[in-house]
Structure 1
Amino acid sequence: MLKHSRQYLNRKMKQRSSLLILCFVLIVASVSAQTCIHNGRNFTPNGTYDANRRLILSSLPSNAAAQDGFYSGSIGQEPSRVYAAGMCIPGAEPNDCSACLKGASDWLVQDCTNQTDAYYWALDPTLCLVRYSNNSFSGSAGYWEIVPQYLVMNTANIDSNLTEFKKIWEGLIHGVIAAASSTRNNLSSSNNHYKADVAALTPFQNIYALMQCTPDVSSGDCDNCLRQSVIDYQSCCGEKTGGYVMRPICFFRWQLFTFSKAFGNITLAAPPSPPPPPLLQPQPSSGGDRAKKIDSGSGNISMRTIVAIVVVVIAVVFIIIIIVVLARGFARKGKSDQQVEFNQTGITSVRSLQFDFKTIEVATNKFSESKRIGRGGFGDVFKGTLPDGKEVAVKRLSRTSEQGEKEFKNEVIVIAKLQHGNLVRLLGFSVKGEERILVYEFVPNKSLNCFLSDPIKQAQLSWTKRFNIIRGIARGILYLHQDSRPKIVHRDLKADNILLEADMNPKISDFGTARIFGMDQTSSITRKIVGTKGYMPPEYICDGQFSMKTDVYSFGVLVLEIICGKKNMSFCSPGPNLVTYAWRLWREETPLELVDPTILDNFPAEEVTRCIHIALLCVQHEPTDRPDVSTIMLMLTSTTIISHVPQPPGSLDASY
């Protein structure tokens, strides 16, 4: 009977897999329907079940961190009894584990407003799972443990040999499934049903995969859950460069970069060395066997000495070859028309992106004034047409610009591999003498600033378009801060650097001042303050300290500008700037007075107020009081009440 029931469940799962892929595949993460299980069982908000839910979820961080990364329990009496579990990745630091579980719990409380069953795998600051239900789920692997899924994929496609890639990828994935599904420890340990591993794709590129099931399920159920996740991923995203799949009892993720500390202790096996050349053997003489080592006093040399001499000669030749190669490299670097190669943070070469300078001159009619479409502090932007008819935007850096060779290399390195729908795409670059050129995809509607500073164009921005622009910018920043490797802080988010496509989809541009952050890095200090007045937070202006919260502050200013249709610095002294003006209206409970009067449609007051609320949280004086971008995305996509109350912004005295 049990066997037939399992077969029936498997058939149902396969029949629904294609529909579930369509319903659950997302490019940018939001929590809502993907983790709040809609199985028809609901509770009354602020009732007994809700109170028990909040109480047990609040206990998970400390309990799981103290019990080897896994804790499950229940609280309350039927029918308001709540079962919950919290789990962290093996080896997670207790503080990271607690922070991750708290973040996941807070998301579920805010987003799952009345669902009695929910789960969420959080990715930061480590990997962790939080789950709750009104039914006991310990050791269970039924329909609602396998079918609900949340799938996120990278947008870029594999650019290497696809056949070879799939062969290596599948070998790695099958090995990780086998290792993760085997039971190696007791059921109270998160080390059970877990595996992280690496495979070499090329000499310069690895594939990283991590899988984990909850420790209380059987090996067979873990194997089934992971295999279903891999099948679902392959059916939609088999040619993408990474992604992850979440289910209530298992997690699967792979990338072409190290996305977890779990890979820090994994060493790839070195390729086998070629066998050494056979040593010369002594020849037998007619007088019988001679000793291999002959007395040194006779003038003959031992075999050990011969080998040593050969090794030294080979080493000397090898060093000479290296010196010659380096000398030629430096010689090429000094020539203006030679290809440029940069090595930094996983990007080994961008030579394939290099354009011939003459091609760029022809495309822009030798940078004629009629082709100019923009002017910035670091140079001018021209519209160009390549020989194949493709329209491009050509950024010609000023020879007197503060952005020198370092900034130019930085911009190429930072954005050469970025692939996201809300980031402008770099197509290539060109170097000739003092000329430094960047070639981007052409975005027809120019920048957001062109709309905010033009009353006619400004009237074209309905609230729906403005809200979509706000969310698109947030998605782009989320990718930079969380999903790209390495993490990137833009440092110059402003209306001029938000380009708009024909459908008004926003794209973040201009990465000349961006900084790369390591996986565990949270902030940095610089003596050179770069950015735009009105968008920089106080800790950056005063102390040179910048972090991801620097971009959050700039985003808050952008949101206020989009809502009111005016630039922050357009509020001239002695009047307040836009940030302080918005705060004054919020304090006086008249925030909608901020709305641009050119918005002719009946805008949703609650949605606009929510955006003003979020913006004011983003411009708080203390960086720690500003939300991170993942929380901002949650607030933008959810209808739950935002519990955080904004305080006076950084540029305003607290007594105001």
Structure 2
Amino acid sequence: MSLYEKNRRLILSALASNVTAHNGYFNGSIGLGPDRVYATGMCAPGAEPDACSRCIETTSEDLLQTCPNKSSAFSWSAEETLCLVRYSSRSLSGLLVMDPRGALYNRQNLRTTNQTEFDNEWKNLMFSLIARTTSSSSSGGNSSSKYYGHNESLVPFFGNISALMQCTPDVSPTDCHTCLQRNVIDYEICCHSRNSGGIIAVVIVVATIILIVVGLVIFKRKNQKQEIELPTESVQFDLKTIEAATRNFSEGNKLGQGGFGKVYKGMLMNGTEVAVKRLSRKSEQGHTEFKNEVVVVAKLQHRNLVRLIGFSLHGEEKLLVYEFVPNKSLDYFLFDSKKRIQLEWGVRQNIICGITRGMLYLHHESRLKIIHRDLKASNILLDADMNPKIADFGMARIFGMNQNVANTARVVGTFGYMAPEYVTHGQFSTKSDVYSFGVLMLEIVSGKKNSSFCQINVLVNNLVTYIWRLWESKSLLEVIDPCIREDCKSDEATRYIHIGLLCVQENPAKRPTMSTIHQMLTTSSIALPAPLPPGFFFRTEPRSSPSAQGLKPDQTSRKSITCSVDEATITDVIPR
């Protein structure tokens, strides 16, 4: 099965839930480049959600069976509810699409004593309805009432003629008028004197003619109820789809547990393995974190960032669907005395360089400037080849391209990885991410956790303090993990330690950028400056840290601080 076919199955499997979640009309896409699939689903206005969902689901399945090798296809269904499903390898955004077209009608001839009277009444109804439908554009922006019209007319000795017309909300009034008028003319040519019929689709009802006319124009809209702009790079899944994929969130499928919920392994109907993050209903930050990850991660594409496939919103259930990364998280290996042996020096170098590339993309190369704010070993996932993927963007913040620093009264993150200016003043920037990266880099080389502990008025970063003292005594070889001392080149390892110390300097201005770090790691001829003392978090101000106020690390003060102390040998979050 090609990647295009997999993407087609994936987006069509979620189309029913997307359509019902967006008032009967949805379009989106999944994939990149030639493997990207665009899909549209629509139900007639007023359709019951369950009936609409069944219609879209059945029509999608029929398309997959009827057109297994086609890159573009569409189908109308008029069994119970009028609905449309269409997919294509190209975007139709902003285009008025009139073809292909088809006609369905009752083959029995119309029986009326006055055909001329019927024809005149029918024409008057059609063209007055076109005027009403196109004039409804001012009644709702991109709402379902825009470009929608329905009316009836009584013909003596025949009965009621009922007509329904609709264009998609973003087509211009001129294009909508053109589309409707063209379809009315085509109806006259193909279906004149038939009991019931239509250019696109028909519901056969005694003494009734129903005309459905739709201009197929793709548009983007916002889920106003949840106040989340749906990214076209991801898909919204129906809750039942996720429940089936995870065996109803069974314990056997549970991969781990983080600060904002549990993670489960799942398999979609097309065979794709996924990791489903189920946000805790009790978490006060659940909705904020959920919205943040959907909006931020869906816009990022890099091999060293975990890929968001889709999400699901259903009442209090908030689910994030990620690609499945089989080798768990970095801390699962790094801080276990037996598993750490699998991380040879070459593997550790590859992990450090991969994280560097991912952070360089976030800070400088993506279309957004992203500050991660929670970079740590448990948020680095490892794929089948032990390549790193940065995960967990629930705390990430988007910066303007010319913005360098921001302040917050709500400090979030993990003690031991947080830069001193962030803990004490709520100030974060790319340089606070660099500090976290430096701590992580020192952990990878040493195989030791930068565990933190609270004392009265003091928060000490043990590993950073320890390595700095060895730097001053010119004993950096002692920092290197005994598991790799024979495997690595000592000058390479000590250079990595040197770069790590440059990253954790107390003054943010002295820390290198991720771009400079990448150059330092890939070009050994670049001379490294001597590092200044790192941030030790020694503070005497009464409000400089939670411990200074007699608070435990998970308690908050007027300056809200939401942090965790990374005390466990292995964190709870494992494979995702």
TM-score for the superposition, normalised by structure 2: 0.55
Cα deviation code 1:143-197 (max 9, x no counterpart): xxxxxxxxxxxx95367799xxxxxxxxxxxxxxxxxxxxxxxxxxxxxxxxxxx
SS at match of 1:532: strand
The counterpart of 2:258, out of the listed 368, 376, 389, is 376
Question: Are 1:512 and 2:394 counterparts?
Answer: yes
Supply the AA of the counterpart residue of 1:157: G
Q: Does the CA-based 8 Å contact 1:342-1:350 persist in structure 2?
A: no
User: Take 1:456 and 1:488, find their aligned partners in 2: how far apart are those partners?
Assistant: 35
Question: Are 1:412 and 2:298 counterparts?
Answer: no
Q: Does the CA-based 8 Å contact 2:374-2:414 persist in structure 1?
A: yes
User: Take 2:408 and 2:351, find their aligned partners in 1: how far apart are those partners?
Assistant: 31
Cα deviation code 1:273-324 (max 9, x no counterpart): xxxxxxxxxxxxxxxxxxxxxxxxxxxxxxxxxxxxxxxx999965433396
TM-score for the superposition, normalised by structure 1: 0.49
The counterpart of 1:620, out of the listed 500, 505, 521, is 505
Supply the AA of the counterpart residue of 1:517: F
Query: Paired residue for 1:321?
Result: 140
User: Take 1:378 and 1:440, find their aligned partners in 2: how far apart are those partners?
Assistant: 15
Query: Paired residue for 2:515?
Result: 630
1:103-502 to 2 correspondences below 5 Å: 157=33, 318-322=137-141, 333-334=224-225, 342-343=228-229, 349-350=231-232, 353-502=235-384
What displacement does 1:452 show? 1.9
Decide whether aligned partners of structure 1 residues 647 and 527 sit closer, same or farther in structure 2, where only a CA change above 3 A counts.
same
Query: Paired residue for 1:531?
Result: 413
SS at match of 2:283: coil
SS at match of 2:451: helix
Query: Paired residue for 2:207?
Result: none
Decide whether aligned partners of structure 1 residues 528 and 652 sit closer, same or farther in structure 2, where only a CA change above 3 A counts.
closer
SS at match of 1:451: helix
What displacement does 1:567 show? 1.1
1:22-37 to 2 correspondences below 5 Å: none
What displacement does 1:653 show? 6.9
1:4-19 to 2 correspondences below 5 Å: none
Query: Paired residue for 2:490?
Result: 605
User: Take 2:268 and 2:300, find their aligned partners in 1: how far apart are those partners?
Assistant: 22
Decide whether aligned partners of structure 1 residues 409 and 567 sit closer, same or farther in structure 2, where only a CA change above 3 A counts.
same
User: Take 1:323 and 1:424, find their aligned partners in 2: how far apart are those partners?
Assistant: 33
SS at match of 2:364: helix
What displacement does 1:463 show? 1.0
Cα deviation code 1:307-354 (max 9, x no counterpart): xxxxxx9999654333965999999755xxxxx6733xxxx6448511
Query: Paired residue for 1:583?
Result: 468
User: Take 2:477 and 2:267, find their aligned partners in 1: how far apart are those partners?
Assistant: 44
Decide whether aligned partners of structure 1 residues 326 and 568 sit closer, same or farther in structure 2, where only a CA change above 3 A counts.
farther
Question: Are 1:649 and 2:534 counterparts?
Answer: yes
Decide whether aligned partners of structure 1 residues 422 and 551 sit closer, same or farther in structure 2, where only a CA change above 3 A counts.
same
Decide whether aligned partners of structure 1 residues 158 and 553 sit closer, same or farther in structure 2, where only a CA change above 3 A counts.
farther
Query: Paired residue for 1:546?
Result: 428
User: Take 1:649 and 1:425, find their aligned partners in 2: how far apart are those partners?
Assistant: 34
SS at match of 2:312: strand
Q: Does the CA-based 8 Å contact 1:403-1:512 persist in structure 2?
A: no
Query: Paired residue for 2:150?
Result: none
RMSD over equivalenced CA pairs, Å: 3.3
Q: Does the CA-based 8 Å contact 1:341-1:351 persist in structure 2?
A: no
What displacement does 1:400 show? 1.0
User: Take 1:487 and 1:575, find their aligned partners in 2: how far apart are those partners?
Assistant: 31
Decide whether aligned partners of structure 1 residues 601 and 356 sit closer, same or farther in structure 2, where only a CA change above 3 A counts.
farther
Q: Does the CA-based 8 Å contact 1:399-1:435 persist in structure 2?
A: yes
User: Take 1:603 and 1:622, find their aligned partners in 2: how far apart are those partners?
Assistant: 31
SS at match of 1:395: strand
User: Take 1:558 and 1:332, find their aligned partners in 2: how far apart are those partners?
Assistant: 38
Cα deviation code 1:174-224 (max 9, x no counterpart): xxxxxxxxxxxxxxxxxxxxxxxxxxxxxxxxxxxxxxxxxxxxxxxxxxx
Unpaired runs of at least 5, structure 1: 1-154, 163-238, 240-269, 272-312, 335-339
Supply the AA of the counterpart residue of 1:550: S
Decide whether aligned partners of structure 1 residues 159 and 403 sit closer, same or farther in structure 2, where only a CA change above 3 A counts.
farther
The counterpart of 2:525, out of the listed 635, 640, 648, is 640
Cα deviation code 1:7-29 (max 9, x no counterpart): xxxxxxxxxxxxxxxxxxxxxxx
What displacement does 1:409 show? 1.2
What displacement does 1:378 show? 0.5
Query: Paired residue for 2:161?
Result: none
User: Take 2:417 and 2:525, find their aligned partners in 1: how far apart are those partners?
Assistant: 28
What displacement does 1:483 show? 0.9
Supply the AA of the counterpart residue of 1:560: L
Cα deviation code 1:378-408 (max 9, x no counterpart): 1011111111222111100011123322221
Decide whether aligned partners of structure 1 residues 431 and 575 sit closer, same or farther in structure 2, where only a CA change above 3 A counts.
closer
Q: Does the CA-based 8 Å contact 1:468-1:505 persist in structure 2?
A: yes
Decide whether aligned partners of structure 1 residues 624 and 330 sit closer, same or farther in structure 2, where only a CA change above 3 A counts.
closer
What displacement does 1:642 show? 2.6
Cα deviation code 1:258-286 (max 9, x no counterpart): xxxxxxxxxxxx99xxxxxxxxxxxxxxx
Q: Does the CA-based 8 Å contact 1:445-1:501 persist in structure 2?
A: yes
Q: Does the CA-based 8 Å contact 2:309-2:322 persist in structure 1?
A: yes
Cα deviation code 1:552-585 (max 9, x no counterpart): 0000000011111121016897986111111111
User: Take 1:494 and 1:482, find their aligned partners in 2: how far apart are those partners?
Assistant: 20
What displacement does 1:433 show? 0.6
The counterpart of 2:479, out of the listed 576, 584, 594, is 594
Query: Paired residue for 1:189?
Result: none
What displacement does 1:608 show? 0.5
Cα deviation code 1:581-621 (max 9, x no counterpart): 11111111011101111226431011111100100000011
The counterpart of 1:562, out of the listed 444, 448, 458, is 444
What displacement does 1:633 show? 0.3
Decide whether aligned partners of structure 1 residues 351 and 555 sit closer, same or farther in structure 2, where only a CA change above 3 A counts.
closer
User: Take 1:160 and 1:602, find their aligned partners in 2: how far apart are those partners?
Assistant: 43
User: Take 2:373 and 2:354, find their aligned partners in 1: how far apart are those partners?
Assistant: 18
User: Take 1:490 and 1:549, find their aligned partners in 2: how far apart are those partners?
Assistant: 11
User: Take 1:364 and 1:385, find their aligned partners in 2: how far apart are those partners?
Assistant: 7
Supply the AA of the counterpart residue of 2:484: I
Decide whether aligned partners of structure 1 residues 352 and 577 sit closer, same or farther in structure 2, where only a CA change above 3 A counts.
closer
More helix by share: 1
User: Take 1:653 and 1:639, find their aligned partners in 2: how far apart are those partners?
Assistant: 34
User: Take 1:633 and 1:627, find their aligned partners in 2: how far apart are those partners?
Assistant: 10
